[in-house]
Chains A and B, each alone.
Chain A
Amino acid sequence: MTIQFNDETFRDDYSFYNSDWAIKRFPFPFHEDSYMYAVNMEQHRGGPEGSVYEKRFDVDEHYVSEMRDRAMVLADDPLRCQSLPHMTLAGWDLLELIMVSKSEDYPDLFELHRDGNQWRWVNKPLGIDDTFTFLDETTLPYGPMEYITRQTQGDFCVLDQRDDMLWMDAGMVTTQADWSLDFDIGMNFFEWHAPVPLAHEKGIFKRALKFLLNIQQGAPARRLNWTMTVNPLLDTSPENYHIWGIQKTTLTPENIGSKQHLRVELQTFFRLPRSNALVFPIRCYLCSFQDLMTMPKWGRRLHRVVRDLPVELATYKGFIDNRPMMLDYLSQFDDGLPTSPGVWPDQETEPPLQK
């Protein structure tokens, strides 16, 4: 299909919106009526047609506007994109992976023409047509990782692998759930996850690390993570928290349906061929509560998940103060009927709201 790109903002007037198509394919993260941390990995080898899992790097209606927002973030704070000196080769690996994937998966939007190391990259949505020499940094306007991730939705962590450990040694991070690449760069897997509650004690990170260290070329994996964001603000950075934090207090019973967003991260993991680094794209999808409620199953389930979430998690995810108001709103959409297993909306089979 040809994607109609939205002209929208993720700041100031927040004109971001999801079309019916985008709501229907939203990666709702709860496969049952409760939530607890899990490694929850699966192979990233496609998914149902039209779903966000289908392509290696999903492109949707927000693409052009998200890239515009990223450029603004980087102009304000170039430290959101950093690469330690030994990570340049991994940057080239990533550039190749994305260019090959996108040109194969979206031939109407992206083209890659290769003649030895002479490459021509055409990005039609962003109006880019560049010719460069692969592995020669002087032929690109930015380093390879920055160049390609200015053209790809989602944050990117490029992890070096050594001493049976992963190291956060490069990244492009402008749509983060409140963590700082500038602070965390150079940390190992356990260190950058240190602030996460409960999961260390449950052994989650040890198991996840074991899994990730063994990811092979051509066998990418994926998982979902989630949090809550007031307003469709992509750049919920700690750097700017003193500016955006106050927005959490602007929720009212009247505006919560449109202002409160479920923020879902589609995390994928690819082994890179030359550097043996691991790239960890973190793609952010936002959906307002009122749009989620158009799917009766999601309405029932979201209420139950938010209601029963342990206090530590609601605190860590930053919505403990707003939880009572969320529950007042969400409970209107929970009639107590059972929900079908799995994340899909099951519009055809789930009954409409019985109240």
Chain B
Amino acid sequence: MSKFQFPESIKSRPVYGTLEPRPGKAHLFVADAEGAEAILDLAAASPDLMAGAHIIYIPKGTDFTEKLRDLNPAQFYEGPTYAASVQRLRHVLENAHQGLQVYLTGTEGLMGQAQNEAMQAGIPHTAIQTEHRGSVARRMQCVHCKGITEDVITDPFVCAHCGLNLFVRDHYSRRLAAYQGVCIDAEDPGNVPEPVELYK
């Protein structure tokens, strides 16, 4: 139920896969909300993985925490927000050894930001597994004021910082972990189409 088939898009748009067990000495999972279901699926297929697993999970109002705990991962942390979890994530990455597998799942914003942390720790983005689950909301950067608006679900939307009306581009920056929002009414101020839910 939590899976969504993204339409074909331009080449900077991330493509997500399905988490697969990979051999490794340690397994780091970062997930939010329905991303828990991807971990549960993986654990059902490969229960042995959990003995070396560290799960960092942000529920975002969902109810999967007990099920994840029941998997008996070696380490488990429930964070109230992604921002609250970042220090722990960095700590894990900084102290990681060769043979660490990284699995990211849940919303695009969560996966993008965690991937960026892993890249900064020296892991190539191509070596990181991702699986989208749950909300299709996007993390958007306003190209004008550079402010980030989280969980954008309509196009166009209003920048949470500078208040400009922005349209949602598919152009995506891994380094910023965000899509690009560009002023929609620059050439005709005030002429802003009704917001439409993404992918509708």
* Chain A residues within 8 Å of B, Cβ to Cβ: 180, 182-187, 190-195, 200, 238-246, 248-249, 321
Contacts and interface: CB of A to CB of B under 8 A. Distances in A.
B144 A183 contact: no
A195 B9 CA distance: 10
A238 B176 contact: no
Contact of B186 (A180, A183, A245): A245
Interface string B150-191: 000000000000001000011111111000101100111100
A192 B187 contact: no
11 contacts: A185-B175, A191-B12, A191-B172, A195-B10, A200-B11, A241-B143, A242-B183, A242-B186, A244-B186, A249-B187, A321-B187
Nearest to A185: B175
Main secondary structure of the interface of B (DSSP, over half): loop
Given A191-B11, A242-B183, A245-B183, 11 more contacts: A183-B143, A183-B173, A183-B176, A184-B173, A190-B12, A194-B11, A194-B171, A239-B143, A241-B182, A244-B186, A246-B186
Interface of B: 10-13, 141, 143-144, 146, 164, 169-176, 180, 182-183, 186-189
Contacts of A238: 143-144, 180, 182
Contacts of B187: 245-246, 248-249, 321
B144 A242 contact: yes
A180 B173 CA distance: 11
A195 B171 contact: yes
A240 B173 CA distance: 19
Contacts of B13: 194
A183 B180 contact: yes
A180 B143 contact: yes
Contacts of A190: 11-12
Nearest to A191: B12
Contacts of A187: 12, 173-174
Contacts of A245: 183, 186-187
B144 A241 contact: yes
Contacts of A191: 11-12, 172
A69 B83 CA distance: 39
A186 B186 contact: no
Contacts of A246: 186-187, 189
Given A195-B10, A242-B164, A246-B187, A186 B175 contact: yes
5 smallest CB-CB distances across A and B, nearest first, come from A245-B186, A194-B12, A194-B10, A242-B183, A191-B12
